[in-house]
Structure 1
């Protein structure tokens, strides 16, 4: 009996698992799949939903090479097999081959897109595999000829011998040169026409990009009908951001549908299909009384918009593979405060801007880059604050900087308080006065946001 251990192979993600087998005169016992222990050793938490058994009556029974569109955990319940795999995924490892003999003491994790095959070495061999998707009739997938010359698998029992039993279907499989590599599962950007959505599609150019007229994520039936089995990642950039309109009866319903119901439906989908969900939130989930907001500060939303966003955060946090990026004062390709101030500067207008709301700008290209970094670096799932870096400013400071960079005198921008600015106006949502968020957790992952005033200069120049 050896200790439980996991071994890497030349095929990325294909892992050999060495299993302790406890035996005596009666036979043997093993923990064939033990989620907690195996995940701790590096196996993916792949979420099996179906267990299949293949009985092989005689030595020489040979099956494969089949490339099913799901992950598998293969082992034997009885007997021994020679097993071989060929990487059929798009990329530099396409065509890489690995083989090993499997008995009770060995199992193998096979990632989606890797062709699987085996040959029974004993009569009455039972081959077992856990899979993380349900088999569906009529679902086609790539298959490779068992004797492909490029793969050059050294079968213990020659394929052309009388002892090798192979189905006519497997004998007719194509060679590697005829195979179309399996593409990875896709990324979906939701809210693609917004400021953040445009930045995300630039950083994830291979992604499917949809807006709410194509996929209404607040509609349970529409969400259920989407082909989620084709995806591995959701980037949810859709949100209702009309802060003051959210205080009206119609606005309240729309805000809750977009900011709370929709993320909850996406979280359910992400859990069911084992997807990663990236969701974008706001400093409005806090009341703005803390000197600096950290990721573990309890939410304390003030208005309807803020409350609906906090509810969405709570829903998304319930799915295992999630990133929530909380941000503030977003600036990108679209209508925003910086563009408004630049237009006023050009028109010769001298505005009055609040000087008691403090924070940092967040440019959408920085937010998109931080998203890509968290995903590609394998950062721990959870909540991350994400703004640009630098010394916090007031909205009046930002407006003055925009005027100065536009050739106007910064003194042309007047100052007022939030209370005075909204005095006598109805239906105004409360604002957090302090929007400054700690970036320590984000920078600890290796991502350093650009200074927001440097980014502002770059943005205006562009």
Structure 2
């Protein structure tokens, strides 16, 4: 076998999504050769996922013509040849449009290939004494074999042109008995878990992901954020994403002794537990933040602004944000003035308008509403688009308003007079009441989320739709 020395490290995409072929620099002389078989930093720069391998396996094959596969396993693999040469064949056995796609290539020690979970792997040795090696990002176990998906090496649809005909090759009886493509059950995708699925945002996420069997919704009774068993009693390796739609939002009650403990338990301690799980299993964690992490001294808040919370609720949310920010795969979606299905400011104002009540409403807190259907759509967009991990502000668009302005809009859209709403300052409104401090400026800059090609609906239009529905 002749190996080409000193090639440049390059990556080539293949017809199978996620399958990438790498040319490896091999350095040699009269003594033999040396290569960097897997180099995380350089290969990530070329697009290799940071797949966190935990096990290294080697298959030694004594004779040319030894043929193994086609096996799709429930983990990612980085495959290379230690010595010898192989003909490799890979078939996409995942659910989706690319099911059945095929890629073949000859590999010697100067090539490697990344194979995502659910793509069938097979090879045929072209030389004696060939060693086939692969890194995987999950530990092998007997139970894991129940999650394998198999395809027959001789499948007519895949039509793999084996260099050595299968009737002349060395095969196991198990590999000979695997099903044809028409009888293969595709490997389902990893699951997405939505916690807090009974809240306003949770209900919007249920609507956004309606019909998607890979998304699992956990209400409070299904996933107790304060119970250790919630984090230890689940097969997390089968999940790709956690969306945390749960939060303690009783802003004023959070200032009490009991409320303070509850706010920190849900908004910080539970978030730290989710972050620990996400980091350990390479899961993407989506977390929903709040304008209350700021003191409101800045007219418009950008994502990278220093956190300056005023009250217990904001402090607990800021703590949760800080924890999530160190998860390798995370999205923090920062919202303001959330409106969805359930009790909220807009529903309260509409009810008062219907009953002919003239309310006093705060007029010195400025911001924008965030409707839950738009928050849910934004989360889905970030995940599907593979946007850069990090913090994204998300509210509805349009001119910032005060709560009194919004209340007047609700009255007008409900057929009542705008003049029924009287504006008062925050200090006047809460005089004599025990209340948490509020940021006076809650307007979020939306440039970063718009740069991902997500454009939130105008707040006034969404408000009209909400009241009509």
TM-score if structure 1 supplies the norm length?
0.98
1:40 is aligned to 2:45? yes
1:94 is aligned to 2:99? yes
**Residues 36-72 of structure 1 deviation map (CA, whole Å, 9 limit, x = unaligned):** 1111111111111111111112212111100101110
Instruction: Tell me, in whole angstroms, the C-alpha distance in 2 between the residues paired with 1:6 and 1:415.
Output: 62
1:367 aligns with 375
Give the CA RMSD over aligned residues.
1.0
The alignment partner of 1:397 has SS state of: helix
Give the Å deviation of 1:377: 2.0
Instruction: Give the counterpart of 2:122 among 117, 121, 143.
Output: 117
The alignment partner of 1:17 has SS state of: strand
Instruction: Tell me, in whole angstroms, the C-alpha distance in 1 between the residues paired with 2:117 and 2:189.
Output: 9
Give the Å deviation of 1:134: 1.0
Instruction: Give the counterpart of 1:452 among 459, 463, 468.
Output: 459
Give the Å deviation of 1:219: 2.5
8 Å contact from structure 1 (residues 229, 273) kept in 2: yes
Instruction: Tell me, in whole angstroms, the C-alpha distance in 1 between the residues paired with 2:426 and 2:73.
Output: 59
**Residues 252-306 of structure 1 deviation map (CA, whole Å, 9 limit, x = unaligned):** 1111110001111111111111111110000000001111111111001111111
Instruction: Give the counterpart of 1:15 among 20, 40, 60.
Output: 20
2:188 aligns with 183
1:51 aligns with 56
2:331 aligns with 323
Runs of 4+ in 1 over 6 A off after TM superposition: none
Give the Å deviation of 1:221: 3.0
Give the Å deviation of 1:157: 1.4
Give the Å deviation of 1:446: 1.4
Count, aligned residues = 459
**Residues 376-429 of structure 1 deviation map (CA, whole Å, 9 limit, x = unaligned):** 222211001100011111111111111111111111111211111111123x11
Instruction: Tell me, in whole angstroms, the C-alpha distance in 2 between the residues paired with 1:62 and 1:438.
Output: 58
Give the Å deviation of 1:220: 2.9
Instruction: Tell me, in whole angstroms, the C-alpha distance in 1 between the residues paired with 2:225 and 2:106.
Output: 47
Give the Å deviation of 1:217: 2.6
Instruction: Tell me, in whole angstroms, the C-alpha distance in 1 between the residues paired with 2:447 and 2:153.
Output: 53
Structure 1: unaligned runs, 5 residues or longer: none
8 Å contact from structure 1 (residues 187, 208) kept in 2: yes
8 Å contact from structure 1 (residues 216, 223) kept in 2: no
The alignment partner of 2:141 has SS state of: coil
The alignment partner of 1:16 has SS state of: strand
Instruction: Tell me, in whole angstroms, the C-alpha distance in 1 between the residues paired with 2:102 and 2:441.
Output: 57
The alignment partner of 1:123 has SS state of: coil
Instruction: Give the counterpart of 1:435 among 418, 442, 445.
Output: 442
Instruction: Give the counterpart of 1:424 among 411, 429, 432.
Output: 432
The alignment partner of 2:41 has SS state of: helix
Structure 2: unaligned runs, 5 residues or longer: 1-5
**Residues 219-238 of structure 1 deviation map (CA, whole Å, 9 limit, x = unaligned):** 33321212212211111100
The alignment partner of 2:11 has SS state of: strand
Give the Å deviation of 1:313: 0.2
Instruction: Tell me, in whole angstroms, the C-alpha distance in 2 between the residues paired with 1:100 and 1:456.
Output: 56
Alignment of 1:396-415 (within 5 A): 396-415=404-423
1:284 aligns with 292
Alignment of 1:264-413 (within 5 A): 264-413=272-421
TM-score if structure 2 supplies the norm length?
0.96
Does 150-159 or 13-22 show the bigger shift?
Answer: 150-159
8 Å contact from structure 2 (residues 283, 329) kept in 1: yes
**Residues 3-29 of structure 1 deviation map (CA, whole Å, 9 limit, x = unaligned):** 000011111111110001101011000
8 Å contact from structure 2 (residues 198, 220) kept in 1: no
8 Å contact from structure 2 (residues 252, 436) kept in 1: yes
